[in-house]
Structure 1
Amino acid sequence: MATKSRDEREARRRIRQMEAKRALRQEQGKRRKRDNTLAITAAIVALVLAVVLQLTVFSSNPTEEEYAAAQAGLSSPSASPAASNSADVPSADTAAGKTFTGELTLNSGVVGVQIDGTTAPQAAAVLKSLSDSGYYAGAFCHRLTTSDTFGLLQCGAKAEDGSDDPNYRWGPLENTPADNKYPAGTIAVARSGNNAYGNGHQFFIVYKDTLIPSDSAGGYTIVGKVTSGLDVVSKIAAAGLKAGAANNDGAPVAPVTIDSFSLK
């Protein structure tokens, strides 16, 4: 009897072990199934988030053209819109119907220029007045853009940070391109954004064909063109931007100054 009882106990022990192993395998199978389900779910969520993020980025980040529009100031910080010129701004009559030629010297490189008082008499009068007074001597070309469709060098700031005198403002806009295209060699007037009377002392030289969308005020006054030495500006652009510049827009890697600007 004792032997039979031991055999029965041993049989029951083995059955319990088998049941325990079966339960363990079942639990492991359930866990693997849960893990696989979680992994698949996580992958699907990650994929959806990636698609959403990509769609969000590409629908909200500006294109080069939109970025150019966002940077439409092309000058010092925006001034409040006005509808009249500062007292010391010369009359457009002083340049109306005239053509001025001269030289702009940048870091000892000479750029030949032509300023058109027929299509942009007010802008031509301002540049002639400022150049005659020696205002631009020692001024900085503080901003350079280097994207495929937005290439310009902005000049005329009295400080490297691009600040300008907010008390010197004038307008209106003249000779702005209807198609928003500024061909290589264009000389145009910088201004504060959304302000037709936000022109100041600064101008920019386009060294590659550039597209600049209009803002609420319009485009940018084309006042003249480069007649020689555009390669001087192109070489400045080729040297690149200072570290930290974003979106192909910032200060030239080496400071650029105006040695002289003469018009006759």
Structure 2
Amino acid sequence: MAPKNQSREARERLRLYQARKGLHERQRRRRVRDNLLGAGALVLVAALATGSQLVHATTQDGAGASATASSAPTPSATAGRTGTVPSKRIAEGATWTGSLTLNDDIRLGIELDGKAAPQAASVEIDLIRKRFYEGTTCHRLADSADFHFLQCGSANGNGSGDAGFRYGPLENVPEDGQYEKGTIAIARGSSPSSQTTQFFIVTGDTTLDPSTGGYTVVGRVTSGLPELVAKVTSKGIADPGQDGSGEPEVATTITGATIAQED
């Protein structure tokens, strides 16, 4: 018979092994879930688009918009920026309106909030003016319980690539993690300063875990969302990943974008 202290040591080793195993499994499940809305993000989202934001946003560092969102981070968290970020003064604290055309025949009316999200709105305005988005694809679709969005805006069309910069801070983040249908948010990676060019359009009320920091809400779709749902979202996902998101069955390309300050 083994000595009592040896038996206790064996039980303790088993307990620690089971605890580590449980922790690893929880981390694995969370990584899978966090791969979502936005640049991106919305973010991812590392499985989210290996490089992007959405809610899962797929950003350069491989994160994305995830299914969680917590209290908004401090607005001063700009550390980690890279490249030349468009000035936050572009938005002028005003409301901007315009359109986003997909596949030539889906026209979405959009509105950007330069007051609530001045930095993100300024970036989007600058990218639209420079016609950065025209010809890029919407590479990720999510359409499951409490998780509905279309992620767009990566330079390479697959969740990777950007315009040569990454920025923060996060702005106008829902503290309760609730992203209403029609919301436009910025996808990102794991860092608050990993926002780039990717964004996600929330096609149905979506819950994103606030504990990951959440996603910048930059604006909303004001018209055309039913058409997007009918022609893209409802057609399904070509090859769903573990989190249920993936490339849309209907290939979706941004074919036009306009923006102007509201009078």
Partner of 1:223: 218
Q: Tell me, which stretches of 5 or more residues in structure 2 are unaligned?
A: 1-21, 37-43, 46-56, 64-76
1:245 and 1:251 in contact (8 A); partners too: no
Deviations 1:40-77 (A, max 9, x none): xxxxxxxxxxxxxxxx8xx85988x9854354422134
2:85 corresponds to 1:115? no
Partner of 1:78: 61
Alpha-carbon distance between aligned partners in 1 of 2:138 and 2:178, rounded to the nearest angstrom: 22
Deviations 1:10-44 (A, max 9, x none): xxxxxxxxxxxxxxxxxxxxxxxxxxxxxxxxxxx
Alpha-carbon distance between aligned partners in 2 of 1:221 and 1:252, rounded to the nearest angstrom: 23
Partner of 1:51: none
1:183 and 1:209 in contact (8 A); partners too: yes
Q: Give aligned pairs, total.
A: 205
Q: 2:227 aligns with which of 194, 209, 232?
A: 232
Partner of 2:183: 186
Alpha-carbon distance between aligned partners in 2 of 1:225 and 1:141, rounded to the nearest angstrom: 17
2:189 corresponds to 1:206? no
2:86 corresponds to 1:103? no
Deviations 1:196-231 (A, max 9, x none): 100000100000000011354x11000000100011
Q: Please give the residue correspondences for 1:114-153 in structure 2 after superposition, counting only pairs within 5 Å.
A: 114-153=111-150
Alpha-carbon distance between aligned partners in 1 of 2:242 and 2:62, rounded to the nearest angstrom: 24
Partner of 2:11: none
Structure 2 residue identity aligned to 1:227: T
Q: Tell me, which stretches of 5 or more residues in structure 1 are unaligned?
A: 1-55
2:139 and 2:248 in contact (8 A); partners too: yes
Normalising by structure 1, we get a TM-score of: 0.70
Higher helix share: 1
2:161 corresponds to 1:164? yes
Instruction: Tell me the secondary structure at the aligned position of residue 176 of structure 1.
Output: coil
Instruction: Tell me the secondary structure at the aligned position of residue 94 of structure 1.
Output: helix
2:149 and 2:203 in contact (8 A); partners too: yes
Change in Cα spacing, 1:260 to 1:154, as seen in structure 2 (3 Å) is same
1:84 is displaced (CA, Å) by 4.9
CA RMSD of aligned residues (A): 2.6
Structure 1 residue identity aligned to 2:253: T
Normalising by structure 2, we get a TM-score of: 0.71
User: Which has more radius of gyration?
Assistant: 1
